[in-house]
């Protein structure tokens, strides 16, 4: 028997098939082969066609079925991971009324800021655990204000994963976890934050029916069966945003455990218990995949926009031909990069700096001493230092970091990057070779609530290695202090 997992990203749709009993990944594919188009008719907009996600999902599912030669009747459940914070709006026939406003669209920033000021810090902190920010609720308000004719046709709003679940099942529903990702969940009263919708003058009946996670949320229709090749009647049993799902994929379920990713941007996702946090403007809080009234686990998400994009920029704009070459050259340079400092924050406003834009900066470049290898090392160190800085912010605000787990497909493959973080936080970093689609597939089997077996399968199938703190901490601490002083000087004067 098998489980199938979908991961609806903004660059591609990934599909994975896993063995139900062991969690072993049988096959993973993605569509399209190049990146999906993001429409940006204004500089701060980012939109995608929801039906493009569906088309690519159908192609990828059919590929998995064809390339594995399995009997589809042996696929017993399906899980969905998806890009967070997006907004899909449909009419009463379930047809999208406009392109989806996706996670990296920033048109609703000012709407969220105004709501935060007028609703007040106390109410937002205690009930939303967040500032309304530039999330789904605020994006829906933007549609109401700027596209009233479209708003008046809305039957329901959805998150991206809700739309794919609808295309598979014909049922429009959502989860409390998903609503929390859109800043639409009232943690104090354990219900939809209708008061926020009312503040925005949005009809509360636009919220879909809420279903729990790890239960049958819908079943594959005959129409969806024809389009995907999946068996009609198969249940959809799991749905979560990509970062909570990534944490689950790595076995991060309990307070003290942290999942991190170091791609174009960087993410630190720490599991903790529900509380009133102070840094709600800098850090987001979402109901974790195993959140319940009796087990109120919350994921604290700190995002670093300027991370791997800095290293990629150097690859494109220096003579290096590969990341491997850059890493090898960087390893020949001592810790601290001979005084060279790179601040990697050149990918827009940074939330952890109160949404300030400080840019990517190269400091103390000595034209007689420093070479390309110094730039590569300083970039890796600068990105690693930004992760450490973010973790210090989390620790100051009620977050315990006892265990750090990461995937094997990003910056954490670099020994310089991983050893720098491990040394400065004095914590082992465990590396796992897995993906969000694999995690979503395995999660489809969690209808029995057996998280222990789920985690055991991760350890059996995915563990690669660990990075440990260096015994020589002085050089790392001095380099970080030098980098942090440069950053704080800029923040003070910005």
Query: Do the Cβ atoms of 247 and 268 come closer than 8 Å?
Result: no
H or E element in which residue 473 lies: helix 473-493
Task: Return the ∠ at Cα 39 (arms to 318 and 302), rounded to 5°.
Answer: 65
Spatial contact of 420 and 330, defined as CB atoms under 8 Å apart: no
User: HSE (CB half, 13 Å, CA atoms) of 159?
Assistant: 32
The reported pLDDT for the residue numbered 348 is 82
Contact between residue 85 and residue 135 where contact means Cβ atoms under 8 Å apart: yes
CATH number attached to the domain at 251-433+450-494: 3.30.420.40
Residues 17-32: tens digit of each pLDDT: 999 999 999 999 999 9
What average pLDDT does this structure show over 89-100? 98
- Give the chain's largest Cα–Cα span: 69
Report the alpha-carbon angle 232-235-238, nearest 5. Answer: 145
Element (H, E) at 394: helix 372-396
CA–CA dist 389, 337 (Å, integer): 19
d(CA 308, CA 243): 17
Cα separation of 151 and 254, whole Å? 40
pLDDT-based confidence at 418, cuts 50/70/90? very high
Q: How far is CA 433 from CA 9, 246, 271, 439, 455, in A?
A: 19, 12, 21, 11, 14
Q: Are 446 and 289 in contact (CB under 8 A)?
A: no
What whole-number distance in Å separates Cα of residue 494 and Cα of residue 479? 23
Provide the pLDDT for residue 409: 75
pLDDT at residue 106 in the model = 87
Question: Residue 192, SS3?
Answer: strand
- Which H or E run contains 26? strand 25-31
DSSP 8-state class, residue 378: H
The phi and psi torsions of 120 (rounded to 5 degrees) equal 100, 150
Q: Percent of the chain having pLDDT more than 70?
A: 100
Output the six-digit token pair for 461: 């199938």
Q: What is the pLDDT at residue 483?
A: 98
Confidence of residue 334 (pLDDT cuts 50, 70, 90): very high
DSSP H helices in 231-359: 242-249, 308-317, 323-331
| DSSP three-state, residue 172 | coil
Residue 408 has pLDDT above 90, yes or no: no
Tell me the average pLDDT across 238-263: 96
What does the pLDDT look like over 123-181, one tens digit per residue? Answer: 999 999 999 999 999 999 999 999 999 999 999 999 999 999 999 999 999 999 999 99
- pLDDT tens, position by position, 37-78: 999 899 889 999 999 999 999 999 999 999 999 999 999 999
CATH 3.30.420.40 maps onto the chain at: 2-244, 251-433+450-494
Residue 450 near residue 28 (C-beta atoms within 8 A): no
CA 47 to CA 34: how far, in whole Å?
17
Contact partners, residue 146, CB within 8 Å, separation at least 6: none
Question: Mind listing the pLDDT tens digit for each residue in 224-244?
Answer: 999 999 999 999 999 999 999
Q: What is the pLDDT of residue 399?
A: 94
At which residue do the structure tokens 């942090």 appear? 484
State yes or no: pLDDT of 448 exceeds 90. Answer: no
Provide the 8-state DSSP code for 278: S
Return d(Cα 413, Cα 311) in angstroms, integer.
13
DSSP 25: E
Contacts of 425 (CB under 8 A, 6+ apart): 388, 391, 401, 404
**What's the pLDDT score for residue 357?**
85
Query: Which residues, in sequence order, are bridge partners of residue 8?
Result: 13, 82
Q: Tokens 């679940």, residue?
A: 165
Q: Which CATH architecture has domain 2-244?
A: 2-Layer Sandwich (3.30)
Q: What is the pLDDT of residues 273-311, one digit of tens each?
A: 988 888 998 999 999 999 998 999 999 999 998 999 999
pLDDT given at position 275: 86
Calculate the CA dihedral of residues 264, 268, 271, 276 and round it to 10 degrees.
-120
Helix (H/G/I), strand (E/B), else coil: 287: strand
Length of the chain: 494
Contact 442, 2 (CB under 8 A): no
Q: What value does the mean pLDDT of the chain take? A: 95
């Amino acid at each position: 028997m098998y489980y199938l997992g979908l991961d609806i990203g903004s660059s591609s749709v990934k599909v994975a098939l896993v063995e139900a009993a062991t969690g072993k990944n049988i096959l993973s594919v993605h569509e399209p082969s190049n990146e999906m188009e993001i429409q940006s008719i204004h500089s701060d907009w980012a939109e995608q066609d929801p039906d493009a996600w569906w088309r690519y999902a159908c192609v990828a599912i059919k590929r998995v079925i064809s390339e594995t030669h399995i009997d589809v009747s042996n696929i017993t459940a399906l899980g969905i991971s998806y890009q967070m914070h997006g907004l899909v709006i449909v009419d009463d026939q379930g047809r999208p009324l406009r392109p989806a406003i996706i996670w990296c669209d920033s048109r609703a920033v000012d709407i969220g800021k105004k709501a935060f000021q007028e609703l007040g810090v106390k109410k937002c902190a205690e009930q939303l655990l967040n500032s309304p920010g530039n999330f789904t609720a605020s994006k829906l308000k933007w549609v109401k204000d700027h596209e009233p004719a479209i708003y008046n046709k809305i039957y329901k709003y959805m998150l991206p994963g809700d739309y794919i679940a609808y295309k598979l099942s014909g049922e429009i529903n959502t989860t409390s976890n998903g609503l929390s990702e859109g800043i639409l969940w009232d943690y104090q009263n354990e219900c939809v934050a209708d008061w926020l919708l009312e503040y925005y003058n949005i009809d509360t009946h636009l919220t879909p029916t809420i279903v729990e996670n790890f239960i049958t949320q819908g079943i594959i229709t005959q129409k969806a069966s024809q389009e995907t090749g999946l068996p009609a009647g198969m249940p959809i049993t799991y749905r979560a945003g990509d970062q909570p799902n990534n944490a689950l994929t790595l076995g991060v379920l309990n307070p003290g455990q942290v999942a991190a990713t170091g791609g174009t941007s960087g993410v630190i996702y720490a599991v903790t218990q529900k509380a009133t946090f102070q840094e709600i403007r800098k850090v987001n809080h979402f109901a974790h995949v195993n959140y319940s009234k009796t087990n109120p686990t919350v994921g604290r998400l700190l995002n670093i926009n300027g991370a791997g994009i800095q290293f990629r920029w150097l690859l494109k704009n220096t003579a290096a031909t590969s990341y491997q070459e850059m890493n090898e050259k960087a390893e020949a340079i001592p810790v601290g990069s001979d005084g060279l400092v790179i601040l990697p924050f050149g990918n827009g406003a940074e939330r952890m700096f109160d949404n300030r834009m400080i840019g990517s900066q190269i400091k103390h470049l000595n034209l007689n001493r420093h070479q390309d290898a110094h730039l590569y090392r300083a970039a890796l160190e600068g990105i690693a230092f930004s992760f450490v800085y973010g973790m210090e912010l989390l620790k100051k605000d009620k977050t315990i970091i006892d265990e750090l787990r990461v995937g094997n497909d990003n910056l954490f493959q670099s020994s310089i990057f991983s050893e720098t973080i491990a040394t400065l936080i004095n914590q082992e970093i465990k590396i796992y070779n897995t993906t969000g689609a694999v995690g979503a597939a395995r999660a489809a089997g969690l209808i029995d609530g057996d998280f222990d077996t789920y985690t055991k399968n991760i350890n059996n199938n995915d563990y690669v290695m660990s990075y440990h703190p260096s015994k020589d901490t002085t050089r790392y601490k001095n380099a970080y202090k030098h980098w942090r002083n440069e950053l704080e000087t800029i923040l003070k004067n910005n």
